[in-house]
Structure 1
């Protein structure tokens, strides 16, 4: 069995474990226990309202957004580069269409009813504090809209408090 150690949130920075510039899995479960995940590379880590928080963005059409919306907490997991092919697959295939987690061969575990993956190097558990759809009229640099939002499918921005961090021993 894989073992993890708890990391003090105050000691954690995004560079602590080389998390910058890596893909992560955003994972949540619905009240009925079903789990879904998606690959993400945009987001951030910082302080808001005197809390350690993450900033996660999810497009409206992503199936995982339904799961994140239906729960108070979710996880972000980061992996060794040997899982890059699996993370790519999980980002391309929708959980609406198939059991992509099983097909990727990843194993779900739970910490206080929040799903994460046993194969992860680091798991960050978060509680939602804020959600808002990014608005077109809020952009000061309009070329961002042309480049990243040609379909006008603006992300939902989630600000979530970090409640626990597990790191592979």
Structure 2
């Protein structure tokens, strides 16, 4: 419940909305992590949904410089909340440019924190599509093996990503 609104969870197959999820990902989605009592969300624009190790996987990339990196290293789980109908452009922009070290993004953007179903990390209530994931593998990027064009374009400052492969434990739509 959010206020007087009843929220209905409609479970979906992990790949049922993958086309919509990946289309929105280009515009932004929320990656949320909870470590102990600290909760942070950040905007991601990259990720993949796939099937590896006989598991549905959501792979996210987090730079070492991000506050979320330290939290994710401890938590080993995350949620991805994706707006489908709500235009959260302003909130996505804010959460992509401000650090959780300095501000409470949930308060600043008036985003609701709703309990996760299968993980202790919450979801963002204003989004319709949600993935709850447990990290089953992570890989530090190896700069020597990266395409030179991508390296120049995305890593001129040498702030590389760690790739986190999350077993999708739950996928659902949140309906009001």
TM-score, normalised on structure 2?
0.88
2:170 is the counterpart of 1:152: no
Please list the CA deviations of residues 28-85 of structure 1 after superposition, one character each: whole Å capped at 9, or x if unmatched: 1112x11001000101000110100011001110001111111132100001352111
- The correspondence of residues 39-50 of structure 1 with structure 2, limited to 5 A, is 39-50=43-54
Alignment partner of 1:39: what SS? strand
- Specify the alignment match of 1:91 in structure 2: 96
CA distance in 2, matches of 1:38, 1:131: 18
- Specify the alignment match of 2:171 in structure 1: 165
Give the paired residue count. 165
Alignment partner of 2:58: what SS? strand
What is the RMSD of the two structures over their aligned residues, measured on CA atoms? Answer: 1.5
- Specify the alignment match of 1:68 in structure 2: 72
CA distance in 2, matches of 1:43, 1:142: 20
Contact 1:9 1:162 (8 Å CA) reproduced: no
Runs of 4+ more than 2 Å apart: 8-13
For structure 2, the 5+ residue unaligned runs are: none
For structure 1, the 5+ residue unaligned runs are: none
Alpha-carbon distance change, 2 to 145 in structure 1, aligned in 2, over 3 angstroms: farther
CA distance in 1, matches of 2:129, 2:99: 24
Which of 34, 38, 46 in structure 2 is aligned with 1:34?
Answer: 38
- Specify the alignment match of 1:21 in structure 2: 23
